[in-house]
Amino acid sequence: MAINRGVRSLGLGLLIGILGIIVSFMPGTSEWEEAIGLGLLFKLRGQHSPPQELVIVSINGETSEQLGLGEEIPDWPRSLHADLIDRLTEAGADVIAMDIFFKKPTRPEMDRRLAEAIKNAGNVILVAYLQQRAVDSGVETLHIENLLPPLEILKQNAVGIAPFVLPKIPVRVSRFWTFNGNDELPSLPSMALQQWVDPEGKIIRQLLAHDDHNDIDAPTNKLFKQLRSEKALSEQLLQSVKKDPPPDLTPAKITALQSLLRLYRGERYPYLNFYGPPGSIVTIPYQSALSGDTDIQMQFREKVVFIGYAGDYQPKQKDGFYTVFTQKTGLDLSGVEIAATAFANLLRNETLTPLSPVGLMLLLLLYGVGIVLLFRYLPGFTGLLLGLCIAAFYLLLVFRLFEQYHLWLPWFVPLALQTPLALILTLTWHYRQMRISRERLRELFGYYLPNDVIDRLAQNQEKAMQQRDTAFGVCLASDAQQYTKLAETLEPEQLQTFLNRYYEVLFTPVRSRGGVVSDVVGDAMLAIWPSTTPDQALAQKACEAALDINLALQHADFEPKLFTRIGLHAGKLVMGHVGAIDHFEYRAVGDMVNTASRIENLNKLLGTAILASRDLVVGLRGIVTRELGEFPVPGRQQPITLFEVAASDITVTPEMRALHVAFAEALALWRQSDKTTACEKFERILQDHPDDGPSAYYIQQYRERRSSRKNPIG
């Protein structure tokens, strides 16, 4: 049974895991995980410190105002850009990446002045524009890419041109290109890293020469392109640098060289690891960089400088992109800030690493199985609380891996889909199993215990065994006449069959009238009608059940038909489990139970079938009773007034009513101490009703008293 339960639990866990995998690979889910999952991780982490090797020179609205220029940069005098490049060169900047597209020529002297500054710097990278066109060939749609370079005179003097493609549509930017297009063109951040680490390819040539490579004399651009196309070669060189780094390089340059080699063998379209909102990377306004201030110039020494639109006041948000750190005011990260972020990610090897498809499937499968097993084997509030703790721990783990190792694990699908679904399904399963268990318990123990007791046992056995229910109740005690003699004449199997049929006759009226069979010993039965407060309706049901039993026994289809005596009484009782060690019985306990049994026993004395106490018969409807007088009961100080429950109004005969009237008159005389006259009336009753036991009882009492007076003791 436990094995089957474990297999089913494992099956449900696998189902939850597979469902998580299916949802994760559905169209649109990756956008949810990116927008909600990745967005939350960035918000939790907050601002992150960028590399110190990086500076942004920003162009914004204040720049145009202070310089007295318009908002359109292409209209600015290009000598101004030349002056900025000269300042940066004098300050010792290692690489200058200009995220400004110089598409059209201006005044020739201005273009020549800028070209001269670019040439003298020898480290300027200019951004190019990658144009994509869709052409219908008649068979299929072809996507043609065309690189639009900047002005030719500027291109010739730059160390390189590179595109930097971002989607200028209302979607969140979360990734960047390291290499663009079918020709694997290095993007602006990639070329900036290449230029900063090994501008002429000398270090790469040394590594290739050390590994006996034949293409060390190839042009630099071809050399770098070969490393990109032959990723195994890039990996080989990377391992070589890790094992035996070039001795003439500083530790910082060795680390940067490893980052460059990872770039060549790495992903083409990695995820950005943003450092924070706009302005997180050190940013110096364009006009301040032009000022020649010594303190400002010191900030450019041996740095990679990106130039472009940035800052709190951008003219018409010309270069803004919606990201996870877009401000509530609407301020976006600019293109140059994203390019600088991409360069910093590549330099530090901090691009986000999502799980591979296989890793993602394995994670979701294991999480689904784990969370289902948790909820299955720890049901209720404990499982729910621990499940929430596990979910919180998983989120914390995802955050720590993101924060410290830049590893991006999904949390939206596991926590927002798999966990609630596992909880709902396991709770449904628990409820179904509990219902089945209760039904089995009720079926198994229903012959011995009331349904509410079975429910309590199913919920908590220990508490159910300790529980004591104090209540008001009506008790019906029965006993069969001449049972002992019958038992002596039957074989045990025959006696068992006979008793089962006999008790079926007794139990049916009790159950149909809402009673509970509390105890069965031999030929004796104890049935109760419990209630939290005194209820006369219970007495009505008990008396009706007693009459039904009497009638059913008369018409039973088994022999011999045992004459059964019944005693009825009402009062307080305790319902609970009675016993010790490993044997308990659920039964009613209290004086009321004992009294009902003793009332039943008085039927032998009075020759009646059904006796009840006074309190029980008060208020009965449709039932004929006869008061029989007061009788002492063992264990009680005061005598009890007993009534015979004779018949229902439907079955009562005129003879019975006449008997009851005559008996009441005789009993009244007896109570008035006119016992002689009373005895004469009882004798006349016996003449008409020779089987009337109560009249015979009083006659016997009268004779015994007269005899005792005639023969006094002593």
When pLDDT is cut at 50, 70 and 90, the band that residue 204 belongs to is: confident
When pLDDT is cut at 50, 70 and 90, the band that residue 470 belongs to is: low
User: Residue 428 above 50 pLDDT?
Assistant: yes
CA distances from 527 to 568, 609, 642 (A): 10, 16, 19
> Is position 257 within any domain?
no
Are residues 156 and 14 located together in one domain of the fold? Answer: no
Residue 437 has a pLDDT of 62
In the block, which residue shows the tokens 């039964």? 587
Residue 115 has a pLDDT of 95
Cβ–Cβ under 8 Å, residues 423 and 29: no
CA distances from 12 to 8, 362, 376, 418, 426 (A): 6, 16, 10, 11, 9
Residue 219 has a pLDDT of 66
> Is position 564 within any domain?
yes
User: Residue 464 above 70 pLDDT?
Assistant: no
Q: How many CB atoms lie within 10 A of CB 387?
A: 19
CA distances from 686 to 52, 522, 626, 681, 690 (A): 123, 35, 16, 9, 4
User: Residue 90 above 70 pLDDT?
Assistant: yes
CA neighbor of 397 nearest in space, from 385, 387, 410: 410
Are residues 287 and 358 located together in one domain of the fold? Answer: no
Q: What CATH number does residue 582 fall under?
A: 3.30.70.1230
**DSSP for residue 529:** E
Rounded mean pLDDT, 465-483: 74
When pLDDT is cut at 50, 70 and 90, the band that residue 237 belongs to is: confident
Segment 435-444 long-range contacts (CB within 8 Å, at least 24 positions apart): none
User: Residue 411 above 70 pLDDT?
Assistant: yes
The total number of residues written for the chain in this structure: 714
Residue 358 has a pLDDT of 93
Query: Does residue 92 come out as left (phi exceeding 0), alpha (psi in the -120 to 50 range) or beta?
Result: left
User: Residue 414 above 60 pLDDT?
Assistant: yes
> Is position 39 within any domain?
no
Domain limits for position 424: 2-28+353-439
Structural domain ending residue among the three candidates 652, 682, 700: 652
CA distance 103 to 149: 8
Contacts of 61 (CB under 8 A, 6+ apart): 71, 311, 313, 314, 315
pLDDT tens digit sequence for 430-451: 777 777 766 654 554 444 445 5
Rounded mean pLDDT, 582-594: 66
User: Residue 121 above 50 pLDDT?
Assistant: yes
CA neighbor of 42 nearest in space, from 341, 436, 463, 301: 341
Residue 5 has a pLDDT of 65
User: Residue 586 above 60 pLDDT?
Assistant: no
User: Residue 460 above 70 pLDDT?
Assistant: no
pLDDT tens digit sequence for 523-540: 889 998 887 778 888 999
CA distance 42 to 399: 9
Residue 140 has a pLDDT of 52
> Is position 539 within any domain?
yes
Residue 461 has a pLDDT of 46
pLDDT tens digit sequence for 677-689: 999 999 999 999 9
CA neighbor of 330 nearest in space, from 277, 281, 399: 277
CA distance 98 to 367: 47
User: Residue 420 above 70 pLDDT?
Assistant: yes
Are residues 616 and 512 located together in one domain of the fold? Answer: yes
Are residues 512 and 561 located together in one domain of the fold? Answer: yes
Are residues 496 and 632 located together in one domain of the fold? Answer: yes
Tokens of 501: 């049929």
Average pLDDT, the chain: 83
Are residues 410 and 309 located together in one domain of the fold? Answer: no
Alpha helix positions (H), 555-635: 591-606, 614-617
Residue 253 has a pLDDT of 87
When pLDDT is cut at 50, 70 and 90, the band that residue 471 belongs to is: low
Residue 317 has a pLDDT of 47
Are residues 606 and 559 located together in one domain of the fold? Answer: yes
Computed from CA positions of residues 370, 374, 375, 381, in that sequence, does the dihedral angle turn out positive or negative? negative
Are residues 667 and 646 located together in one domain of the fold? Answer: no
Rounded mean pLDDT, 606-628: 93
Contacts of 50 (CB under 8 A, 6+ apart): 275, 280, 281, 282, 340, 341, 344
pLDDT tens digit sequence for 239-282: 888 888 888 888 888 999 999 999 988 888 899 999 998 889 99
Task: For 194-241, give the DSSP string.
Answer: HHHH-TTSHHHHHHHHHTT-S-TTS-HHHHHHHHHH-HHHHHHHHHHH
Residue 447 has a pLDDT of 46
User: Residue 713 above 70 pLDDT?
Assistant: no
User: Residue 416 above 90 pLDDT?
Assistant: no
User: Residue 168 above 60 pLDDT?
Assistant: no
pLDDT tens digit sequence for 367-401: 989 888 888 777 667 777 888 888 889 999 999 99
Structural domain ending residue among the three candidates 331, 348, 365: 348
Element (H, E) at 358: helix 357-377
Instruction: Name the residue with higher pLDDT: 320 or 352.
Output: 352
Element (H, E) at 133: strand 124-136
Which of 202-206, 317-321, 644-648 bottoms out in mean pLDDT, i.e. has the lowest? 317-321
Are residues 116 and 158 located together in one domain of the fold? Answer: yes
Residue 227 has a pLDDT of 80
Are residues 523 and 467 located together in one domain of the fold? Answer: yes
Burial class (CB in 10 A: 0-12, 13-18, 19+), 500: exposed
Q: How many CB atoms lie within 10 A of CB 675?
A: 18
pLDDT tens digit sequence for 274-306: 999 888 999 999 999 998 888 899 999 999 999
Residue 196 has a pLDDT of 93
Tokens of 267: 């992903």
> Is position 140 within any domain?
yes
CA distances from 141 to 104, 136, 147, 180 (A): 31, 4, 20, 20
pLDDT tens digit sequence for 36-61: 888 889 999 989 899 999 999 998 87
350-369 burial by CB neighbour count: b if 16+ within 10 A, else e? bbbbbbeeeebbebbbebbb
Instruction: Name the residue with higher pLDDT: 518 or 155.
Output: 155
Rounded mean pLDDT, 608-635: 92
Residue 685 has a pLDDT of 92
> Is position 585 within any domain?
yes
> Is position 18 within any domain?
yes
Element (H, E) at 145: strand 141-148
Residue 327 has a pLDDT of 73
Are residues 517 and 422 located together in one domain of the fold? Answer: no
> Is position 235 within any domain?
no
Are residues 515 and 580 located together in one domain of the fold? Answer: yes
In the block, which residue shows the tokens 């090994």? 198
In the block, which residue shows the tokens 């097993």? 373
Residue 451 has a pLDDT of 57
Q: What's the number of domains the chain is made of?
A: 4
CA distances from 105 to 79, 102, 324 (A): 13, 8, 37
Rounded mean pLDDT, 503-515: 91
